[in-house]
Amino acid sequence: MTLTQAAPTRVVRPGLSTAGLVTVLLGAALPIIDFFIVNVALPTINADLHASTATLELVVAAYGISYALLLVVGGRLGDAYGRRRLFFIGLMAFTLTSLLCGIAPSVDMLVLARALQGAASALMLPQVLSIIQASTSGESRSKALGLYGAMGGISTVVGQLVGGLLVSADLWGTGWRPIFLVNVPIGLVGLWLARQTLPESRSENPHGVDRLGTVLLGVSILSLLVPLMEGRALGWPVWSIVLLAVFPFAVWGFVVVERRIERSGAMPLLPPSVLRMPSMRRGLLVGVPFFAGFGAFMFVVAVTLQEGLHFGPLKSGLALTPMAVGFFTMSLVSSRFVTRYGQRVVVAGAAIQLLGLLVLVGTVAMAWPSITVLDLAPGMLLAGVGQGLAMTTLFRIVLSRVPTEIAGVGSGVMTTTQQASLALGIATLGSLFASLIGSIGVRDAFMTVIGLQAALTAGVMWFARRLPDPRG
């Protein structure tokens, strides 16, 4: 079922000032920085709150699950009730939930606060592009979108380094907590800037919120990922088996409801007609294993660096920085390669990432346990370069074939798939890594799981050849 909104009156849309652009870019950066900061801090959280590796997976994945589930809903609420208003509400909620994460007394409370933080990000982040699109045009829009794209790469670098610095500093004996608490003053400044600088805009014909579809998608995601992450560690209790049994029925119900809503002429959460588009279908076939591998990679590397190689948080951040720099650099120049080489850029990016993964496996095999940051740098850099080329180009290729009138829907489908796949990678390959540590050790567990990711990347290379050419 859907919530139908009366079409609001046309809204006068003033331009986006430089200060306003800085404000929305800050809103885009915070959730990305938070993702990378948490990975660096996982072993410290484990030592302080005595969390199992499976629960640490939930600390990361709870954020991604709620973000994926509510992302499209957040965009539609902004269209209906005002993007500036929803940006403000989302940033306020993100600030509050960051405080809750920072003061969480137990790992269970931290997981809950992380889920709420992901929901807050889902309210805030969709408004960033919507505000840029509604408040800019021509050259100013191109520059704003370029800065938005670059912000993703910059945020990965900042997340690695700031996370390592904050945890290593152990300010006033607070350990990992400042990685969340630092968001509070930043968020308060952002709230003041948002009130002062952002113009209001909304859609003249907003789509309603697909409440039943959202619930069924949530049940589908949770009934699969929670048992995969927690079932093994708890000895597969009855509830985990029951949830896995619920999964196919929830998916079936979701598909039926989405088809029914679309046939009625309304806009479902994930429109089946969009999913059936050849470019979208092929893009998702490439994207799911690619993003799942990336999510698992970040989790496995974070644990390996600190628990296997005994790097401190700052040293771990430095070890990951070449990957972030490579990703950032390629995200800036990938459009030039796409203009010349088309969809082959995704194939080349996957090939470079595959080479980076194999170099990392070889480094661990030959130099363990006396591995240095410099030893890891070549593999990390290659992996980052490949990810930057493939990820940014994949979004561009798939969305270039989506009709302009439903571009926002197509973007929502891709981003929802991205976030759900990140969580799926942690639930599957991350859980496999956790189960192998006890039997074969961190070194061999790392080599096994990264080797499996390499196999997934080889599959990405194969299927990426069938992506449409964006130049055509």
Q: pLDDT tens digits, residue range 134-171?
A: 787 777 776 776 677 677 767 777 777 788 788 888 78
pLDDT of residue 1: 34
Q: How far apart are CA 87 and CA 121, in angstroms?
A: 9
Q: Mean pLDDT, to the nearest integer, of 44-63?
A: 83
Contact yes or no for 194/25 (Cβ under 8 A): no
Instruction: Tell me which of 43-57, 288-302, 337-351, 426-440 is least confident.
Output: 43-57
Is pLDDT above 50 for 286?
A: yes
Question: What whole-number distance in Å separates Cα of residue 471 and Cα of residue 393?
Answer: 12
Burial call 439-456: b when 16+ CB within 10 Å, e when fewer:
eeebbebbbbbbebbbeb
pLDDT in tens, 200-249: 887 777 777 888 988 998 899 889 888 888 887 778 889 999 999 999 99
Q: What is the mean pLDDT of residues 62-81?
A: 85
Mean pLDDT of the chain: 85
Whether 436 has a pLDDT exceeding 50, the answer reads yes
* Overall pTM > 0.95: no
Per-residue pLDDT at 35 exceeds 80 = no
Q: pLDDT value at position 382?
A: 96
Which single residue is written with the structure tokens 């974070």?
302
Range in 12-21, 125-134, 210-219, 434-443 with the lowest mean pLDDT: 12-21
Quote the CA–CA distance of 429 and 9 in Å, as a whole number: 50
- pLDDT at residue 329, rounded to an integer: 86
* Higher-confidence position of 116 and 135: 116
